[in-house]
Amino acid sequence: MKRMSFQARYRMIGYQFLIPTFLVLLLVVAMPLLFSLVLSMFRYTFLSPRLNEFVGFSNYASVVHDQYFWNSVKVTFLFVLMVVPLEFFIGYGIALMLSRPEIRFKSIFYFILTIPMVMSPVAVGLIWRMLLHPELGVVNYLLGKLGFGYVNWFGDERLALFTVTLVDVWQQVSFMVLLLLSGITSLPKEPFESATIDGANWLQTLLFVKTPLLMPIITVALLQRVITSFKTYDLVYILTSGGPGVSTDLISYNIYRTTFMGLDLSVASAVSYMLLIVILAITVVIFRSTMKGNE
Amino acid sequence: MKSYKLAKQTSLFFTYVALIFFSLMIALPVLWTLRTSFVNEVDAYAMPPRLFPSFTFDNYRELFGNDGFGDFLINSLIISLASTALAVPIASLGGYAFARYKAGGNILRFTVLATQMLPGVVLILPLFIVMSRLHLSDTYLGMTIAYLAFNLPFLIWIMTGFFASIPKDLDDAAAMDGLTPVQSFFRIILPIALPGIMATAVLSFIFSWNEFLFAIVLSGRTTMPIPVRLAAMKTRQGIQIAKLSAGTIIAILPMVFISGFVKRYLITGLSLGAIKS
């Protein structure tokens, strides 16, 4: 009995430290979320911002029947499925090379790698818009010199999403490199020594020793990138504004468009909630894996 | 033995080639933008590029002169500093509660993590409505508070890791000496965790500086930070590549500079503290 009350008191102290956090998150996260849940069940637009017409789940129904919503879902999945594997394979390759002890000038490589990571996606987008300009960009000029034809990076409906993918990879691959590198350098030495004694070659060591040992960190890296690429918004805003047509209309951008250009706050809230459920599901996975990693 | 050595030399050579190629791919676009920011508009457009272009500070001079870029820089500085200054103390307390007292158990910790995963676009709509109703849109106060929505969860997550790595014995010893939990936090634990906290503060500053979605929705004439201004230059002055390049460099340079101080924490921070630095 006495022990219990001690524990309870101990816990109370903990909650005391949590009060400011709790209040702030209530104010800037929980209440807005609740508000948007309410909005999603009413007819609420910029032109008539009143909560007097309850419509239940009909906003959700109209989202489900909206072809632009499904287009965004498709585009977003395509984007995530291109971005994450590309970043992983390039990132893993570079990390393996950088982890070789013979490599010198590592700090220079690290410095260069950190530059895209601390850049605003807006800056990244603007830089690549200039470089990839079909007539005035230096990339098309160089490609022309190498004998390639004119590439309409952002204007071609079939190419635009791929271009956005490449720009995203350019910015985010460093994160993959540095995260995997930190995993590689903290690996124990013994498994590799015994693998060498057993006569394993370079590729066998990589596939059957190194990669399995790195699995926890690889999982975290992949999930982290899946989540952040799901949310990608700024890049599309700067590079393509969702176009041409709706070929790069990622879900976050779609919601932004519905809110601030379509001015339909209720439908935007409904889409938000559907996105929320997907993200939450992925978060459960990431949380489980990080908890495992921390224990 | 000789052939083994040769093979190793060759593989090292190709590794260097690949690494240098990769580094150039990352560095050249930024360097090209730097170059463009120092030439006049005519040279910025010249295709094929001139080998020896003009050299001028005019783009920067114009940005800070007529375009009032200084104001946007100051806006960015105010909002980022204020939001960081507000988020860091709150997050330190919260992280300590999670790490030491396991307050709220896994459920609450999960909630905080989940908050961080929230797409900003989901939060910004209701925040925008509330801020407009309270007449807080286009004010520093409104933006500072709104920025907490993404700063706080991420800071708590990292700081929980910091505090968890500080031995619990220190708290126990403090309690023996008759310190209350609050005293022991401020006098014993906080000084030890301070370097880590400072580093995460820098990270939070970088995130706030680069934030675009919250900024574009909540800012206006008086509070517009750099990224919003840059995005507007894209449409309004889409033709002035040289000036846009200069603006981009101004946005990037301070972050590259201060990131040097947080190298060690950059990855931990961005990976949600899933790995220990």
For residue range B183-239, list pLDDT tens digits in order: 888 888 888 888 888 888 988 999 999 999 999 999 988 999 999 999 888 765 556
DSSP state of B260: G
Residues of A in contact with B181 (CB under 8 A): 13, 16
Asked if the model's pLDDT at residue A3 lies above 60, the reply is no
For residue A224, the model assigns a pLDDT of 82
Contact A224 B45 (CB under 8 A): no
Provide mean pLDDT across the span B130-158: 89
Cis link prior to A49 (omega < 30° from 0)?
Answer: no
Q: Tell me the shortest Cα–Cα distance from A209 to chain B, in angstroms.
A: 20
Contact B22 A94 (CB under 8 A): yes
Cross-chain CB nearest to B117 (options A109, A227, A272): A227
Residues of A in contact with B159 (CB under 8 A): none
For residue range B82-141, list pLDDT tens digits in order: 999 999 999 999 988 888 887 777 777 777 777 877 888 888 888 988 888 899 989 999
Residues of A in contact with B251 (CB under 8 A): 119-120, 122-123
Cross-chain CB nearest to B26 (options A116, A217, A238): A116
Cross-chain CB nearest to B271 (options A35, A128, A179): A179
d(CA B163, CA B185): 10
Asked if the model's pLDDT at residue A93 lies above 90, the reply is yes
Q: Where are the domains of chain B?
A: 2-59, 63-270
For residue B21, the model assigns a pLDDT of 95
Is pLDDT larger for residue A277 or for residue A78? Answer: A78
Comparing C-alpha atoms, which of A41, A25, A27 is closest to residue B134? A27
Q: Tell me the shortest Cα–Cα distance from A294 to chain B, in angstroms.
A: 7
Cβ-based burial of B31 (10 A; exposed 0-12, middle 13-18, buried ≥19)? exposed
Is pLDDT larger for residue A160 or for residue B118? Answer: A160
SS3 assignment for chain A: CHHHHHHHHHHHHHHHHHHHHHHHHHHHHHHHHHHHHHHCCECCECCCCCCCCECCCHHHHHHHCCHHHHHHHHHHHHHHHHHHHHHHHHHHHHHHHHCCCCCCCHHHHHHHHHHHHCCCHHHHHHHHHHHCCCCCCHHHHHHHHCCCCCCCCCCCCCCHHHHHHHHHHHHHHHHHHHHHHHHHHCCCCHHHHHHHHCCCCHHHHHHHHHHHHHHHHHHHHHHHHHHHHHCCCHHHHHHCCCCCCCCCCCHHHHHHHHHHCCCEHHHHHHHHHHHHHHHHHHHHHHHHHHHHHHC
Q: Tell me the shortest Cα–Cα distance from A248 to chain B, in angstroms.
A: 17
Please state whether the predicted TM-score (pTM) of the whole model is above 0.95: no
Strand partners, A54: A42
Strand partners, A42: A54
Asked if the model's pLDDT at residue B249 lies above 80, the reply is yes
Counted across chains A and B, CB pairs separated by less than 8 A come out at 286
Residues of A in contact with B97 (CB under 8 A): 14-18, 21
d(CA B214, CA B123): 9
d(CA B97, CA B156): 10
Split into its structural domains, chain A has a count of 1
Contact A94 B18 (CB under 8 A): yes
Cross-chain CB nearest to A252 (options B33, B119, B217): B119
Provide mean pLDDT across the span B29-51: 85
Mutation for testing the B interface, residue in A11, A23, A24 having most B CBs under 10 Å: A24
φ, ψ of residue A56 to 5 degrees: the values are: 65, -130
Cross-chain CB nearest to B270 (options A123, A131, A175): A175
Phi-psi region of A168 (alpha: psi -120 to 50; beta: other; left: phi over 0): alpha
Asked if the model's pLDDT at residue B74 lies above 50, the reply is yes
- The chain A residue lying nearest B115, using CA atoms, is A29
Q: Give the pLDDT band (50/70/90) at residue A287.
A: low
Q: Give the pLDDT band (50/70/90) at residue B277.
A: very low
| Percent of chain A residues topping a pLDDT of 70 | 95
End-to-end distance of chain A based on CA atoms, in angstroms?
30
- The chain B residue lying nearest A185, using CA atoms, is B277
Contact A122 B227 (CB under 8 A): yes
Contact A120 B210 (CB under 8 A): yes
Contact A237 B113 (CB under 8 A): no
Cross-chain CB nearest to B126 (options A35, A131, A217): A35
Contact B97 A21 (CB under 8 A): yes
Q: What are the tokens at A231?
A: 């949310």
Residues of A in contact with B184 (CB under 8 A): none
Contact A130 B245 (CB under 8 A): yes
For residue B153, the model assigns a pLDDT of 87
For residue B99, give every residue at least 6 positions away whose Cβ sits within 8 Å of its Cβ, in sequence order, or none.
B159, B160, B161, B162, B163, B164, B166
Average predicted confidence (pLDDT) for chain A: 85
Q: What is the CATH number of the domain that holds A146?
A: 1.10.3720.10
In the three-class reduction of DSSP (H, G, I as helix; E, B as strand; rest coil), residue B242 is classed as helix
Q: Tell me the shortest Cα–Cα distance from A158 to chain B, in angstroms.
A: 24
Residues of B in contact with A20 (CB under 8 A): 89-90, 93-94
For residue range A179-215, list pLDDT tens digits in order: 898 888 888 888 888 888 888 888 888 888 888 888 8
For residue A277, the model assigns a pLDDT of 84
Q: Tell me the shortest Cα–Cα distance from B214 to chain A, in angstroms.
A: 11
Range of the domain at A221: 64-294
Strand partners, A45: A264
Asked if the model's pLDDT at residue A1 lies above 50, the reply is no
Provide mean pLDDT across the span B172-189: 84
For residue A97, the model assigns a pLDDT of 92
Cross-chain CB nearest to B33 (options A16, A127, A182): A127
For residue B118, the model assigns a pLDDT of 81
Domain B63-270 has CATH 1.10.3720.10: yes
d(CA A216, CA A80): 20
Is pLDDT larger for residue A260 or for residue B31? Answer: B31
Distance of alpha carbon B236 from the chain centroid: 27
Mutation for testing the A interface, residue in B212, B235, B237, B263 having most A CBs under 10 Å: B212
Residues of B in contact with A119 (CB under 8 A): 210, 251-252, 255-256
d(CA A182, CA A190): 18
For residue A295, the model assigns a pLDDT of 43
d(CA B148, CA A12): 25
Provide mean pLDDT across the span A52-69: 84
Q: Give the pLDDT band (50/70/90) at residue A125.
A: very high
Residue A258 lies in a domain: yes
| Percent of chain B residues topping a pLDDT of 90 | 33
Residue A174 lies in a domain: yes
Comparing C-alpha atoms, which of A91, A16, A75 is closest to residue A250? A75
Residues of B in contact with A218 (CB under 8 A): none
φ, ψ of residue A248 to 5 degrees: the values are: -125, 30
Cross-chain CB nearest to B130 (options A32, A141, A224): A32
In the three-class reduction of DSSP (H, G, I as helix; E, B as strand; rest coil), residue B63 is classed as helix
Residue carrying the six token digits 């072809």: A67
Q: Give the pLDDT band (50/70/90) at residue A106.
A: confident
Contact B266 A110 (CB under 8 A): no
Contact A29 B115 (CB under 8 A): yes
d(CA B94, CA B96): 5
Is pLDDT larger for residue A95 or for residue A295? Answer: A95
Residue A23 lies in a domain: no
CB-side neighbour CA atoms (13 Å) of B65: 7
Asked if the model's pLDDT at residue A88 lies above 60, the reply is yes
Residue A256 lies in a domain: yes
Residue A7 lies in a domain: no
Residue A121 lies in a domain: yes
d(CA A128, CA B19): 22
Residues of A in contact with B131 (CB under 8 A): none
